[in-house]
Amino acid sequence: MASKSSDALIQEVIDREAIRTLPVRYCHCVWQKDPDSWANLFTDDGEISATDTSMPRAQGREALRKMIASGLNTAQPRPFIHNHVVELLGPDRAKGTCYVEVRLLRDGKKHYMAGWYDDEYAKERGEWKFKSRRINIDSLEPAQ
């Protein structure tokens, strides 16, 4: 097996850092109630979905922006991202998992949600973006 060149290794580090920044920026945009910047973290045809089919699904930047904008005031989500694992699949594709805790309102009451995102990433016009995010909810319970 041939070893990678220094340039290839440096590019992998740059790509991993750019990808790891995406979920952090995602949370920041939610906290700052910035649906435009949030939607711009996705590819043009990016999508978000959940294993819980009662949660909204959206595809395409405008649909994504509308979806998050409608939930920012009602659910008031406060997400926290942890333990981001990234697997590079090529120069413009990657996948990953990151764990999430969210404090939010549901039916007017405070709730705590824990789970993880299964992500696909793509480099679009030289910038890493979410191609898809699928949230897997492990627990959703009233806050104590």
Model pLDDT, residue 107: 85
- Tell whether the model's pLDDT for residue 81 goes beyond 70: yes
Type of residue numbered 50? A
Tell me whether strands 42-50 and 127-142 are parallel, antiparallel or unpaired: parallel
Which DSSP letter does residue 95 get?
Answer: E
pTM: 0.92
- Of 1-5, 46-50, 96-100, 110-114, the range with the lowest mean pLDDT is 1-5
Q: What are the structural domains, with CATH classification, of the chain?
A: 6-142 (3.10.450.50)
In Å, what is the CA distance from 120 to each residue of 13, 78, 106, 132, 133? Answer: 18, 23, 28, 5, 7
How confident is the prediction for the chain on average, in pLDDT?
94
